[in-house]
């Protein structure tokens, strides 16, 4: 094959049972690259305003990028997208593992699922062929049993699955889509969309070679990255420990969320740090497809909970959400809660933050033992954590309420619970503190998916006044962010840095390239050229990211979202009760002014955040004007 994409998108209508292959052409793939842009294109063009996210009119998109499936570190990922049942807004999540690469090797650049099956089904895709198969015998099974049953049924242990467990089946709005057992498309509740369509899994097996237009360059880049990982020059900490190192240091600076973002001190942080996980219960490290950075922990234990090592081990976001955010320092309890999230297809971040919300409500008398079915739902109770994960997955008792997210829970419990709801657009906060990293304050507020930590700027590394730390951030310097700036700044320089970082990050969400191998933008450009045969540039890459950002904004505006939905909750505007941020807090007016500048720098209206018609024309998406309420010239 002479390029890294097939010009082949599979469309499956589960209502009619029909399938077809669409070939949108080379310009489509160069304009969008895949991932976020493919999702946004489908949602804006095909999903009408006001559609029920859990109804048959919503569309579920599985979108690799033009680099996915190449034999190089980081190229394992795909995006999953739909109108989010959690936020009602643009929904997208990225995921690694093996499935995305396998789909490309099976001959497809994406899958669009529409309609709804009357009975549970799964898709079976192999080397360009697709079959809709009965999944009645799989419905209700956890992900491990689902994967094993499909492999046995189809007599192939090399089949990979994107699938849901009971959480997705039960339409839990923080449900995710699992690639195999350890990789989650976690945010925005996309597992519930999959469940609403009666789709249990997409099983894939591919044997097609995927080398790219210049296979020698791709192989050379892969070898270079692998050697630099071995030499400790690339992703050293991730390769050795995975994510979640030095949580005690994070407490010292105020970046570790503690007891629902309320507190600043957590003596047990070291117990749940990655170093201690590997020391106490770690049995190895694993990698996604073709990646030299083996960042995934595998753990095992027998007490106080029996752990199944097939589900891997907790990464940082899981450790913090199910650990410190819930006041829990029991590594086995946190690992068990993570395992249950993976088995039931639940987002560990959303699940942990919802449980932390309930714990604070319980400690303040807004929930009682009667509400919790006798569970002592206090911060620090590991047994309660594990029990609540199961209750959320199966919508039992209080879990049924928490399964619908903060907005529904506050409506049911009462306005006194509002201060404890840590969300943006109903998406629970990720596990980084915006009161510490002010670039994240901008990013959390403006992200079209609700609070997101991956494409938002983490200020560490650009704040050292003598540039000792800043010089290491060569990526931002190459994007024109040339001088360090204070962590607490929300001025124009921070806005510009946040915008350029986010634009590149979202471009990577279109390529669906992992950030952990540490590829520079110039590496990504070289990779795209070698993969596709195009003459590509960093300018074009950044424009792809801006295009995706703007299309997602248009979708949200059409759904009734406004600039008022770009916010942080009240708790973020004040201090923590103790610790490094005891005198912290983000000035709401400063944040609003920063967001206005952010809009303006994107070519959107400074007050409303509505993109201008001229900006859409510049981005080569003039077709989207008709979907833009209140567009201005």
Mean pLDDT of 323-339: 98
The DSSP secondary structure of 17-82, one letter per residue, reads TEEEEE---HHHHHHH-BHHHHHHHHHHHHS-TT--TTSTTS-EEEEEBTTTTSSSTTTT-EEEEE
CA torsion through residues 491, 493, 494, 496, sign: positive
Q: What is the pLDDT of residue 162?
A: 98
Fold of 9-205: Aldehyde Ferredoxin Oxidoreductase;  A, domain 1 (3.60.9)
Mean pLDDT of 383-400: 98
| C-alpha pair distances (Å), 511 with each of 20, 69, 293, 473, 541 | 24, 11, 19, 21, 9
Going by their DSSP bridges, the two strands 60-64 and 78-83 should be labelled as antiparallel
Model confidence band, residue 460 (pLDDT cutoffs 50, 70, 90): confident
Pairwise pLDDT comparison (459 vs 346), residue with the higher score: 346
Q: What is the pLDDT of residue 467?
A: 55
pLDDT digits (tens, 9 = 90+) for 118-127: 999 999 999 9
Q: What is the 3-state secondary structure (H, E, C) of 37-55?
A: HHHHHHHHHHCCCCCCCCC
Domain with CATH 1.10.569.10 in the chain: 235-428
pLDDT digits (tens, 9 = 90+) for 357-366: 999 999 999 9
Phi-psi region of 450 (alpha: psi -120 to 50; beta: other; left: phi over 0): left
Q: What is the DSSP letter of 121?
A: E
Model confidence band, residue 383 (pLDDT cutoffs 50, 70, 90): very high
Q: What is the pLDDT of residue 629?
A: 81
pLDDT at 464 over 90: no
The CATH class that applies to domain 235-428 reads mainly alpha
Q: What is the pLDDT of residue 469?
A: 54
pLDDT at 394 over 90: yes
**Which residue in this structure is represented by tokens 């190449």?**
70
CA distance 148 to 160: 10
| C-alpha pair distances (Å), 133 with each of 152, 161, 263 | 14, 14, 50
Tokens encoding 56? 């048959």
The DSSP secondary structure of 262-299, one letter per residue, reads TBS--GGGGGGSHHHHHHHTEEEEE-STT-S---EEEE
pLDDT at 633 over 50: no
Domain with CATH 1.10.599.10 in the chain: 438-627
CA distance 482 to 464: 12
pLDDT digits (tens, 9 = 90+) for 290-313: 999 999 999 999 999 999 999 999
- The closest of 177, 28, 176, 51 to 114, measured between CA atoms, is 51
Query: How many CB atoms are located within 10 Å of the residue 233 CB?
Result: 11
pLDDT at 470 over 70: no
In angstroms and rounded to an integer, the radius of gyration of the C-alpha atoms of the chain is 23
CA-based max dimension of the chain: 65
CA distance 210 to 107: 9
Residues 513 and 67 sit within 8 Å (Cβ to Cβ): yes
**Which residue in this structure is represented by tokens 């979108």?**
63
CA distance 500 to 613: 22
Q: What is the DSSP letter of 83?
A: E
Q: What is the pLDDT of residue 474?
A: 85
Q: What is the pLDDT of residue 472?
A: 57
Return mean pLDDT, the chain: 96
Pairwise pLDDT comparison (145 vs 464), residue with the higher score: 145
Mean pLDDT of 435-464: 92
Mean pLDDT of 535-547: 98
pLDDT at 476 over 70: yes
Q: What is the pLDDT of residue 236?
A: 87
pLDDT digits (tens, 9 = 90+) for 178-217: 999 999 999 999 999 999 999 999 999 999 999 999 999 9
Architecture of domain 438-627: Orthogonal Bundle (1.10)
Domain with CATH 3.60.9.10 in the chain: 9-205
């Amino acid at each position: 094959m002479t390029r890294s994409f097939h010009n082949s998108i599979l469309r499956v209508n589960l209502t009619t049972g029909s399938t077809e292959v669409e070939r949108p052409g080379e310009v489509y793939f160069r304009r969008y690259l895949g991932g976020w842009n493919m999702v946004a294109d489908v949602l804006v063009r095909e999903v009408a305003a006001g559609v029920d996210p859990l109804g048959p009119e919503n569309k579920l998109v599985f979108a690799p990028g033009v680099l996915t499936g190449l034999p190089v570190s980081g190229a394992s990922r795909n995006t999953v997208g739909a109108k989010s049942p959690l936020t009602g807004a643009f929904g997208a999540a990225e995921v690694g593992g093996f499935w995305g690469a396998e789909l490309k090797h099976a001959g497809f650049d994406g899958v669009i699922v529409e309609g709804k099956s009357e009975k549970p089904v799964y898709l079976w895709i192999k080397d360009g062929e697709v079959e809709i198969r009965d999944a009645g015998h799989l419905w209700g099974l956890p992900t491990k049993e689902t994967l094993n049953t499909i492999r046995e049924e189809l007599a192939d242990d090399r089949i990979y699955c994107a699938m849901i467990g009971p959480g997705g089946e039960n339409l839990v709005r923080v449900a995710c889509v699992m690639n195999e057992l350890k990789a989650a498309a976690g945010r925005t509740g996309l597992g519930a969309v999959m469940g609403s369509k009666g789709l249990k899994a997409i099983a894939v097996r591919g044997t097609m070679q995927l080398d790219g237009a210049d296979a020698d360059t791709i192989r050379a880049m892969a070898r270079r990255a692998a050697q630099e990982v071995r030499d400790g020059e690339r992703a050293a900490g991730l390769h050795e420990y995975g994510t979640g190192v030095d949580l005690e240091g994070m407490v010292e600076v105020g970046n570790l969320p503690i007891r629902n973002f309320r507190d600043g001190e957590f003596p047990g942080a070291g117990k749940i740090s990655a170093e201690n996980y590997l020391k106490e219960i770690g049995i190895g490290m694993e990698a996604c497809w073709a990646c030299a950075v083996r960042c995934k922990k595998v753990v095992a234990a027998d007490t106080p909970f029996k752990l199944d090592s097939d589900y891997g081990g907790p990464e940082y976001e899981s450790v913090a959400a199910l650990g410190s955010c819930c006041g829990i320092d029991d590594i086995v309890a946190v690992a068990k809660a993570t395992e249950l999230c993976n088995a039931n297809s639940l987002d560990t971040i959303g699940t942990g933050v919802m449980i932390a919300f309930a714990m604070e409500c319980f400690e303040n008398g807004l929930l009682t033992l009667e509400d919790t079915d006798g569970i002592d739902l206090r911060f620090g109770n590991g047994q309660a954590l594990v029990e609540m994960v199961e209750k959320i997955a199966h919508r039992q008792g209080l879990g049924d309420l928490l399964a619908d997210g903060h907005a529904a829970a506050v409506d049911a419990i009462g306005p006194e619970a509002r201060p404890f709801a840590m969300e943006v657009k109903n998406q629970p906060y990720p596990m980084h503190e915006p009161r510490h990293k002010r670039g994240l304050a901008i990013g959390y507020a403006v992200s079209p998916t609700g609070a997101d930590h991956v494409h938002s700027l983490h200020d560490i590394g650009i704040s050292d006044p003598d540039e000792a730390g800043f010089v290491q951030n060569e990526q931002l310097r190459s994007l024109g962010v040339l001088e360090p700036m204070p962590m607490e700044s929300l001025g124009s320089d921070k806005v510009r840095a946040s915008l350029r970082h986010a634009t590149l990050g979202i471009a990577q969400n279109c390529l669906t390239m992992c950030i952990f191998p540490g590829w520079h933008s110039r590496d990504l450009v070289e990779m795209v050229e070698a993969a596709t045969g195009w003459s590509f540039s960093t300018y074009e890459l950044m424009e792809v990211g801006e295009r995706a950002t703007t299309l997602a904004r248009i979708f949200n505006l059409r759904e009734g979202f406004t600039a008022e939905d770009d916010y942080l909750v009240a708790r973020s505007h004040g201090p923590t009760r103790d610790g490094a941020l005891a005198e912290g807090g983000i000035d709401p007016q400063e944040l609003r002014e920063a967001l206005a500048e952010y809009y303006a720098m994107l070519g959107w209206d400074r007050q409303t955040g509505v993109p201008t018609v001229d900006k859409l024309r510049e981005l080569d998406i003039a077709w989207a004007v008709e979907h833009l309420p209140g567009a201005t010239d």
